[in-house]
Structure 1
Amino acid sequence: MRQTFDETTDPSFGARHLPLVRARLLEQGLDGLLVPHEDEHQNEYLPEANDRLAWLTGFTGSAGAAVVMKDRAAVFADGRYTVQVRAQVDAGQFEILDLVEGGVPAYLERAPRGAVIGYDARLHSPDALETLGRAVAKAGAALKPVDVNPLDAAWAEARPAQPQAPIVPHEDRYSGESHVSKRERIGRAVAEAGADAAVLTAPSSIAWLFNVRGGDVIRSPMPLGQAILNADGTAELFLDPAKVTNELPGWLGDAVTLKPTAALDDALDALAGRKVLIDPAQSSAWYFDRLEGAGASVVRAMDPCAVPRAAKNPVEIEGTRQAHIRDGAALSRFLHWVDTVAQDTLPGEREIVGVLESFREATGMLKDLSFDTIAGAGPNGALPHYKPVGDKIRPIEKGSLLLVDGGGQYLDGTTDVTRTMAIGEPTADQRRMFTLVLKGHIAMATIRFPAGTTGHQLDAIARQPMWMAGLDYDHGTGHGVGSYLGVHEGPQRIAKAVNTQPLLTGMILSNEPGYYREGHWGIRIETLQVVTEPEPIPGGERPMHGFEQLTFAPLDRRLIDVNALTVAERAYVDAYHAETLAKVGPLLAEGPQADASALAWLKAACAPL
C-alpha cells in the first residue's frame, strides 16, 4: 500500500523512514547521504513522487535539505518555515538547522574524517555540488555519486507513481509568439553562445519554448520532460509517451521530433564531438557527467529560454492584465464577504480558503490555483508561508488581523495577491504597522530606475520606512511570475541577496513587503507589477523604467493611518483605488461575477481617503 504525505503529517511519519534509508546506506558502503528538496528537474514545487525530503523527514516546505549519517541526521529549512519544520519533523531523530545561516555546507564541514557521503547526481546542480564538495573536503571526507539512490530504494513500492498529466498546446493567442519563432530565436542565441545545441531540463523552459502546458508540477501547468534544441531551431523533445495527446505531434510539426524519455541517454551520447550549452544552475550534474563522458564539449551558460521567458511580450502582458482584472473581481467579492459575513460568523481558516477558491472558480476560467492558499488568522498570520492544516487551524477573532495570500492559474495569466484585513476595530498599533508596510509598498510601486538596475539594488527601497522604525521582514520583496506558468519564476527577483539579472521591460514581479509579530498577527501587502519601457522624465537626462500595477483589489482602509502618509502617498492610494473600481467594477455589475452588494461595497472601499 502506498504511503502519502501532506501538511498534516505528524513527526513520526518521517522518523520511521530514517532506519530504512540507513539500512540502504549500509548495503552500499556509505556513511551518509545528501537529500536535497529539489528533484530531477530542479523544481521548487514537486510532484509527490519526487518529494524525497518530505518522505524522509515529514517536512513539506518548498525549500530545504537533509543530511543522513549513520548515527545522526539533520534537516534544514529557512526562516519562512521555522515553525512548520518543528511541527512536522521529529527533533529526536533530526537536528533542525537553518538552511541559510551556514546551512548544509557548515554541517558537512563537521563530517567524520574519512566518511564517504553519497549523492544522487540527478538531484544536484553542479554549482551546488561544488560548494558541498569543498565543505566535505575540509572535513577530510569525500562525496561519492550513487548509481541507485538509497532513499529511492528504501521508498520502493510505497512510492507514488510519477505524474502523467496530458500535454496540450498553448495557443498563440495566449503566448504571443509561435513555437517555431521561439525555437529559431533561441537557436540563434545558442549559436551566438558558441554552441551547436542546448540541453533543456527546466519544465518552465519546455512549456514556454514549445508552447505547451501540462500538469505534472503541483499548481503549475508544466510538463516534466527534456529537450535538445539545435542551433538551427530543430529539436528533440523527450516525454513520457503516456502524456502525449493526439493533437501534440501536429502542433509541434516536423521540426520537432517526439521521443520517449527512455531515449534521452542515447540522445545525449549522440552529442559526442559537439558543443552543447547547458545551465549549471538549472540542470543536474548527471547531465554534465553524461555529456562529458560521451565526448561532448560542454558550454556552461544560463538556460537560453530563461530571460526571453521572463521578459513578457505585449500579448502576454495584456493577457496578464485581463487575468488580474478577472481575479480582482473574485478577490473583491471575497473581501466583501470577509468584511460582512465573516465579521459576524468568525469562520475558521479552512472555510476562508474555500470561500476564496469558490469566488475564483465562479470566474468560469480558473484552471487551478497558482499555489495553495495561505490564510493566517491572528498568530498564524505571523508565519509567512503558513497553510491552514491540522490542529493549527484557527477561527478569526475580533481585534486581530487576517492575512490571505492566494492566486489563480488562467490561460492568459498567473495571479498572486496578498491582502491583510482587520477583524473588528483595529488597534492603533496594527494601523501603524500596516501603514509602514504600505509606505514601503508604495515606494516600490512608484520607483523609477535606469536600464541595468537589478532587483537587489531596489530591495532597500521597500524596507526603508520599516528600517527607520527599527523593523524588517525576513523574506524577499519580490519574485518573478510566469505567464500561465510558475508563480515563482527567475532569473529576476527583488531581495537582499545579490542578483545580477537586470530588470527588463516586460518582466513581472511581485511587490510584497510585510511585518510579522510572532504570536500575534502578520501583515503583508502584495500586488504584481510589470516593468515598463524606459521613458524620459521631464527635466531628466536618462530614460527610466518603472512599474505598471497589474493587481487590482482594494486595501483595507480601516488599517491605513492617513495622517502618516505623505500627500504623494495618499494620492497614490486614491488613484489605485479609483483604477480598481474602474476596472473591477464592471465585472461585478454584469456577467458571471455579477454581485450587486459586492459592487456597492467596492465603491465604498475605493472612495478617496
Structure 2
Amino acid sequence: MSPAPNRPDALRAALSQMGVDGFILPRGDEHLGEYVAPCAERLAWLTGFTGSAGLAAILPDRAAVFSDGRYITQMDQQVDGAAWERLHITRTPPAGWLAQHGAQQRIGYDPRLIAESALRPFNDAGLTLVPLAENPVDQIWTDRPAPPCTPCVPQPEAWAGQASATKREAIATSLRAAGEHALVLSDPASIAWLLNIRGTDVPYTPLSLSFAIVHDDGRVTLFIDPAKVTPQTRDWLGADVTLLPPAALEAGLRALAPARVQVDPARNAIWFMQVLEQAGATVIRKDDPCQLPKAIKNPTEQEGSRRAHLLDGVAICRFLHWLDENATRTTELAAAEQLNGFRNDCPDYREESFPAISGAGPNGAIIHYRVTPESNRALHANEVYLIDSGGQYPFGTTDITRTIWTGPGAPDADVRDAFTRVLRGHIALARARFPKGVTGHALDALARHALWEGGLNYDHGTGHGIGSYLSVHEGPATISPVFRPVALHAGMILSNEPGYYRPGAFGIRLENLHLIQPSRVGEANRSFLEFEVLTLAPFDRRLIDAPSLSAAETVWLDGYHARVFESIAPHLQTPARTWLAAACAPLHAG
C-alpha cells in the first residue's frame, strides 16, 4: 500500500477542524485484533506500513511511526522517511516522543481503537488527551472499503469438543460468584470460542466480527450484522443468544446500568469503559475469562491439532522436496505459492494462517518480511532461504518455520555455526521439563543460551500460543524475555521459534509447535509438565554442524526425524519419500 504524499497534511487539516493538534493512531480495529479487515487498515493507508503491530503519532510539525524489533527493517522500507520518523517502539516509546515534542498540545485519539491499558502511558506522560467522536482518518479516506459481511457458521462440537452452553454456564457461574452481572467481549476469538462459531470476516483467522454481552444467567446478547447470520447459524446459537445489530451496542451497554460489568482493560477499547461509566454502571476490570480456557485445549481440540499437523506435514515435506530440486529456479513469491498449492491439495485445508514469510538471502533477515511483487527476489545458489508459514484447518491451526540451504555447495562455517546454535536452542526448549505453575518467561533463556554463548541473540519472543482453528497468535501465555504472570498449563499449544538475523546477509528461524502435557517424571507431591512436538518436518542437515551437538541433542534430533519419517512417509509418493528418508536419516549417517 503506497500512501499519497499529502495524506499527513490532509490528516492535519482534519485534526484542526476537530480542535486538536495531534493524533494517536494504533494499528488495529475496534476489536483490537492483529489481523483486520481492509476497511480497518488505517495505519497502512496513512503511512504505508503494513506490519501487524505498530502506531503512528502526528503533530503539526512532525510525525512518527513506531513498531517493534520484528518490523524495523520493513518499516524503513515501507515508510517515507521524509514525512515520518521511523522508531523502535521500545527504545523510543510513543508517549515519551509525544511528551517531548507535543507536551502543550491537545492530542486526539479514537477511543474505539485503543485499550485503556494502552492509553495509560500517554496519560502518565502528562499529555492532554482528547477522545474524538469520529476517526479523522475515516474522514479523509474517501475510498475506504466497506465493512466485511461474510457468513457466520457453526463450529461443530465434533471439532470444538465442548458445547457452547457448557462454556457459557462456566462463565456465568464465575460472574455470579464474583457478584457481577455481565461481561463485555469485543475479541471475536473469545466470542467464536464461547459460541462455537467461525467466519471469514478477516484474512487468515476464521472470525466473524461481532461484540457480545454475557449475562450472569448464561444468556448472551450478540451484536452482529444480521446479514451474516444464516438460518442454520441462528438455530445453532439457540434461544439463549439474542441477536442485535452493531448499531445497538451503545444502547445495550447503557442499559446495563447500574450493574457491575466485567471488562478486560487490555482486550476492549477504552470506549466501552467510558460508555458504561457514563451510564452509571460499575466497571470491574479483569482479564477476559475466555482467554485461559480457550488456550487450554480439550482432548478433542488436541486430537484435532495432531490431525492438522499431520496433513500440514505432508504438504511441508512435499514442498521441501520440491524446493530441493527447484531452489535456484524459483522466487520468494513463487515458492510461497507452491507451498500454498501443496496445502490446497488437502480437502480439509481452508487458508493460510498468516501471510507466508518467504525470505531469501538478506530478505530472510527481515524478521516479519512480507514479499510483494516489488520486493520479490529470486533464490540464488548457495544462500539461506527462510520460509515461515501456516495453515488453517477446521480442526486445528499450524505454524512452522524452516531455514534451508539452497546449495549446491556447502554453507560456510559461520552460517552453520549460527544455524546450529539456533537448533540447539530449539532442542533445549523442546526437551524442557518444568514444574507446574512455571511461566513462559522462566523457559525463554533455554532457547537463547547457545546463541548467547556465541555472542548472538534475537529481537523477538521465543513462543506464542496457537488457537484451535482460530488465531495463529493466541494469549495469554507466551515464552518471552518479557514477564507475563500466566502459568503454563497442560493443553496449551505454544510455538518454539528461536532465531538469528544478520542484516543484509541472512535470517535463521526454526519453529515447531508444542502441546504441553503432564510429565510422568516427578516426585509424588510435585507435578511436572513437558512438551509434545506437533510439527512434522525435517531440519536441513546441510546447515547442521553435527560435531557441536551434544549426545543428548543428537539423540533428540534423530528421534524427532525418525518420527517425522514414520508419520509422513506413508502419505508421499516414491520420489518425495526417498528424499524424506535421506532428510530424516540419523545424523551420524552423513
* TM tier relative to shorter chain: over 0.9
Task: Establish whether residue 234 from structure 1 lines up as the match of residue 219 from structure 2.
Answer: yes
Match of 1:149?
A: 135
Q: Secondary structure at the match of 1:403?
A: strand
Q: Secondary structure at the match of 2:271?
A: helix
The one of 523, 533, 552 equivalent to 1:568 is 552
In structure 2, distance between residues paired with 1:198 and 1:207 = 15
> Which range moved further: 173-182 or 143-152?
143-152
Match of 1:453?
A: 438
> How much does 1:412 deviate?
0.7
Match of 2:415?
A: 430
List per-residue Cα deviations over 1:311-349 (Å, max 9, x = no partner). Answer: 100100100001001100000000001112x14x43111
List per-residue Cα deviations over 1:546-574 (Å, max 9, x = no partner). Answer: 11000010111111111111111111011
Match of 1:259?
A: 244
- Write out aligned runs for 1:412-561 (5 A): 412-424=395-407, 425-537=410-522, 542-561=526-545
The one of 378, 395, 401 equivalent to 1:395 is 378
CA distance 1:514–1:14, change in 2 (3 Å): farther
Task: Establish whether residue 222 from structure 1 lines up as the match of residue 200 from structure 2.
Answer: no
Match of 2:197?
A: 212
The one of 410, 423, 427 equivalent to 2:393 is 410
> Which range moved further: 102-111 or 121-130?
102-111
Tell whether the 8 Å contact from 1:14 to 1:58 is kept in structure 2 after alignment: no
> How much does 1:529 deviate?
0.3
List per-residue Cα deviations over 1:469-515 (Å, max 9, x = no partner). Answer: 11101111001110000000001111111111101111110000011
Tell whether the 8 Å contact from 1:493 to 1:499 is kept in structure 2 after alignment: yes
- Paired AA for residue 241 in structure 1: P
The one of 557, 568, 572 equivalent to 1:584 is 568
> How much does 1:541 deviate?
6.1
- Write out aligned runs for 1:129-140 (5 A): 129-135=119-125, 137=126
Q: Secondary structure at the match of 2:528?
A: coil
Match of 1:383?
A: 366
Q: Secondary structure at the match of 1:462?
A: helix
In structure 2, distance between residues paired with 1:59 and 1:294 = 38
CA distance 1:114–1:516, change in 2 (3 Å): closer
Task: Establish whether residue 598 from structure 1 lines up as the match of residue 576 from structure 2.
Answer: yes
Task: Establish whether residue 291 from structure 1 lines up as the match of residue 276 from structure 2.
Answer: yes
> How much does 1:14 deviate?
4.9
Tell whether the 8 Å contact from 1:370 to 1:416 is kept in structure 2 after alignment: yes
In structure 1, distance between residues paired with 2:482 and 2:103 = 33
- Paired AA for residue 539 in structure 2: L
Match of 2:305?
A: 320
Task: Establish whether residue 60 from structure 1 lines up as the match of residue 50 from structure 2.
Answer: yes
List per-residue Cα deviations over 1:111-138 (Å, max 9, x = no partner). Answer: 3443111111111111111211111x1x
Tell whether the 8 Å contact from 2:263 to 2:286 is kept in structure 1 after alignment: yes
Q: Secondary structure at the match of 1:502?
A: coil
Tell whether the 8 Å contact from 1:399 to 1:427 is kept in structure 2 after alignment: no
> Which range moved further: 76-85 or 497-506?
76-85
Tell whether the 8 Å contact from 1:481 to 1:509 is kept in structure 2 after alignment: yes
> How much does 1:28 deviate?
1.2
> How much does 1:575 deviate?
0.6
List per-residue Cα deviations over 1:259-284 (Å, max 9, x = no partner). Answer: 11111111111101111101000000
Match of 1:591?
A: none
Tell whether the 8 Å contact from 1:536 to 1:542 is kept in structure 2 after alignment: no
Across the aligned residues of Structure 1 and Structure 2, the Cα RMSD in angstroms comes to: 1.3
Match of 2:153?
A: 168
Task: Establish whether residue 371 from structure 1 lines up as the match of residue 375 from structure 2.
Answer: no
> How much does 1:452 deviate?
1.1
Tell whether the 8 Å contact from 1:14 to 1:89 is kept in structure 2 after alignment: no
In structure 1, distance between residues paired with 2:574 and 2:249 = 56
Task: Establish whether residue 189 from structure 1 lines up as the match of residue 163 from structure 2.
Answer: no
Task: Establish whether residue 127 from structure 1 lines up as the match of residue 136 from structure 2.
Answer: no
Tell whether the 8 Å contact from 2:333 to 2:373 is kept in structure 1 after alignment: no
Task: Establish whether residue 74 from structure 1 lines up as the match of residue 64 from structure 2.
Answer: yes
In structure 2, distance between residues paired with 1:127 and 1:93 = 29
> How much does 1:534 deviate?
4.4
CA distance 1:322–1:75, change in 2 (3 Å): same
> Which range moved further: 90-99 or 330-339?
90-99
> How much does 1:371 deviate?
0.5
- Paired AA for residue 368 in structure 1: E
Tell whether the 8 Å contact from 2:184 to 2:212 is kept in structure 1 after alignment: yes
In the alignment of these two chains, the number of paired residues is 585
> How much does 1:48 deviate?
1.2
Tell whether the 8 Å contact from 1:334 to 1:356 is kept in structure 2 after alignment: yes
> Which range moved further: 84-93 or 277-286?
84-93
> How much does 1:449 deviate?
0.6
TM-score by length of 1: 0.94
Task: Establish whether residue 333 from structure 1 lines up as the match of residue 318 from structure 2.
Answer: yes
In structure 2, distance between residues paired with 1:335 and 1:108 = 48
In structure 2, distance between residues paired with 1:470 and 1:222 = 42
In structure 1, distance between residues paired with 2:212 and 2:194 = 10
Task: Establish whether residue 105 from structure 1 lines up as the match of residue 95 from structure 2.
Answer: yes
List per-residue Cα deviations over 1:401-424 (Å, max 9, x = no partner). Answer: 111000100001000000011111
Unaligned runs of 5+ in 2: none
TM-score by length of 2: 0.97
